[in-house]
Amino acid sequence: MPLTSDLLKAQSVIVVSDVHVDEWPGEIPEQHQDKRQAFLEFIRWVGEASGAHHLVINGDLVDIPQKDDRPLLPPFLDIFRALVDLYRAGIGISYVIGNHDAGILGFSSDIREIPFTINYPYLVLKSGDARLLIEHGHLLDAWLWAYVEHRLGLLSSTTQPTPQDAMRQFIEPEPDSTAVDLPPVHAMANELFSSLQWEPNALQFTEAEMRLALSLMALDLFDDFEDVRADGEAFAEKDNALSRLEELGLTPEQLCVPAEIPQHALQAFRTIGNVYYAKIPWRRAARYRLRQFNNQFGNLVSTIVLGHIHKLDHMRWDEDGQQKDYYNTGSWKNEQADFLHIENGQVTRYQRLWTDPLP
């Protein structure tokens, strides 16, 4: 089967993901402008001192659409201009869509003023003799998609205007209401994008949503994940979750059916969420995704690069006599400022703070 995504060929590539620029004011209110300048300096460094030929933004640079319905520009015009300057300096830019910027799905990148190509759901990079699959990772997130499905399901239980309702404005001389009737798809689109961004309730999930999440995330408590753990590597997040459940007088088995989860188990929601979004389970998901891709396209790539979970990571394994690698690009959340540098097929991880000097 032929590969449908364009193959990017570049020897030296910087990969960054999960920058979440619009969340910085809430994360570091006293310093977010300084961090913003540090990110702009990072973009300049990519063009002037990194030696890279290409920048890949692996999703979630900024929420698109914006969570508060404001226009994307001008609040982020400085970042857009920095990317334009980078492009004009001869550095290619690719943008792989993540869940927070799914609003640009279907956007045409054939406009000359747009300084990057847009890729979804993945980008395949050829660097040296290696091929790397770069994907944001949210398509592997079972809890995210269960949450989106749940939120969209709520729409079907509410009264929505029909296309016939919308015809009133053409056939009735005077409106009988001050309310504006919008098509059902309007509400569906808004709900879809807001739920993809985890934002309808500002991360204050309802009880029904927490029960649904626990029933999925608790499955990780039944697995030791030895196949993706280094020798002697601890799984601290799982140990903490089991200890918390013991404090509450609960077992993982009691979390499997949403309607039967005891009320006080909701107190362990974030602790169990830390297990689900830990490095170790996502290594297995990445390995699965790489196998799935290679089964479809004929063992094309040896390395998979994901973001989404905000944790820089690396796992190497042998499969069918070949070396395989998984990397996670980390994040620019809070104090972080992680990135990968791919040079002639070799990947170097940079785990750093935004206050650290650039290499």
Mean pLDDT in consecutive groups of 10 residues from the start of the chain, 359 residues: 69 98 94 98 98 97 87 91 93 95 76 74 96 97 94 74 73 68 71 81 80 97 97 97 98 98 96 97 98 93 97 96 97 97 98 97
Residue 229 is assigned to a structural domain of this protein = no
How many domains, the chain?
Answer: 2
DSSP for residue 95: E
| Res 186: pLDDT | 72
Question: 303 CB contacts (<8 Å, ≥6 apart)?
Answer: 130, 131, 132, 133, 324, 325, 326, 327, 347
| Res 1: pLDDT | 44
Residue 40 is assigned to a structural domain of this protein = yes
| Res 112: pLDDT | 55
Which pLDDT tens digit goes with each residue over 247-262? 999 999 999 999 999 9
From 342, 338, 335, select the one nearest 358 (Cα to Cα): 338
User: pTM (2 decimals)?
Assistant: 0.92
CATH of residue 46: 3.60.21.10
Is residue 124 located within the same domain as residue 216? no
* 3-state secondary structure (DSSP) of residue 235: coil
Residue 231 is assigned to a structural domain of this protein = no
| Tokens of residue 116, six digits | 């990057």
Is residue 106 located within the same domain as residue 199? no
Are the CB atoms for 341 and 14 separated by under 8 Å? Answer: yes
Distance CA 83, CA 92 (A): 10
Residue 241 is part of which domain span?
Answer: 140-170+180-222+236-276
| Res 108: pLDDT | 57
Helix (H) or strand (E) holding 317: strand 312-319
Neighbours of 192 (CB within 10 A): 17
| Res 20: pLDDT | 96
Residue 152 is assigned to a structural domain of this protein = yes
